[in-house]
Amino acid sequence: MIEMKDVWKAYPNNMKAINGISIRIEKGEFVYVVGPSGAGKSTFIKLMYREEKPTKGDIVIDNINLAKLKEKAIPKLRRKMGVVFQDFKLLPTLTVFENVAFALEVIEENPNVIKRKVMDVLEIVNLKNKARSLPDELSGGEQQRVAIARAVVNSPEVLIADEPTGNLDPDTAWEIMDILDDINHRGTTVIMATHNKDIVNTIKKRVIAIESGRVVRDEARGSYGYEA
């Protein structure tokens, strides 16, 4: 369902971040993206949700070629994918409910439908009792759970997570991992860039390792493969 064919990305400063990547990710897979800092993991992920455009090559998601996608078609693509970041990126003046509802309000979903979908997804991340809280009243792990709820409230086919446990202590990181695993088991493809060696080596999934903008390893039930 996601295919990259000989994808290259150079930034305007001529930094060559991705140097000829071809991969295929099937619907329902869980994929870790690993590699040293500066290897190109974030760029790889940004190409998938069309935050960056490839310099060369094709990226096809559900028959949509991102390299050819018009700007006005981006919102439709984004409805197919949810994105979660290391630093949560919640809107600080909105409650938990409102942060999660935001994406549905933008598409003018019916208010009763919004309420049901938001409460359903807050139940999945176990935060129904914090619906009225503001982000700064929550722990880091709770904030990341809100961000995950927001990312999946539209029932996207793909959830993309760029170091989602990077700012969290080990116990909290495991909680987040349980939720991502649960979301994957409900049918969503999950692609997660991570430096968390313990998680990758314990909850075995496909591992794609990137170094200097190339795939150097791609293993079903792989391991982290780096120190720390």
Closest separation between CB of residue 13 and ligand ADP, Å?
A: 5
Closest separation between CB of residue 167 and ligand ADP, Å?
A: 15
Closest separation between CB of residue 38 and ligand ADP, Å?
A: 4
Check: CB of residue 196 under 8 Å from CB of residue 184.
Answer: no
Which residue in the block uniquely carries the two structure tokens 């049918």?
187
Q: Which CB atom, from 101 or from 148, has the smaller least distance to ligand ADP? A: 101
Q: Which residues contact 58 (CB under 8 A, 6 or more apart)?
A: 3, 4, 5, 6, 7, 65, 66, 67
Compose the 32-61 pattern: x for residues touching ligand ADP by CB under 6 A, - for all others.
Answer: ---x-xxxxxxx------------------
- What interhelical angle do 170-185 and 140-152 show, nearest 10? 20
Check: CB of residue 149 under 8 Å from CB of residue 124.
Answer: yes
- The DSSP symbol for 3 reads E
Cα Rg of the chain, angstroms: 17
Element housing 105 (H / E): helix 96-106
Is residue 135 a contact point for ligand ADP (CB under 6 A)? Answer: no
Per CB under 6 A, the list member of 2, 7, 17, 151 interacting with ligand ADP is 17
Region of 96-104, 170-178, 199-207, 215-223 interacting with ligand ADP (CB under 6 A): 96-104
Q: Which CB atom, from 39 or from 178, has the smaller least distance to ligand ADP? A: 39
Which stretches of the chain bind ligand ADP, using CB under 6 A?
11, 13, 15, 17, 35, 37-43, 97-98, 101, 111, 115, 119, 131-132
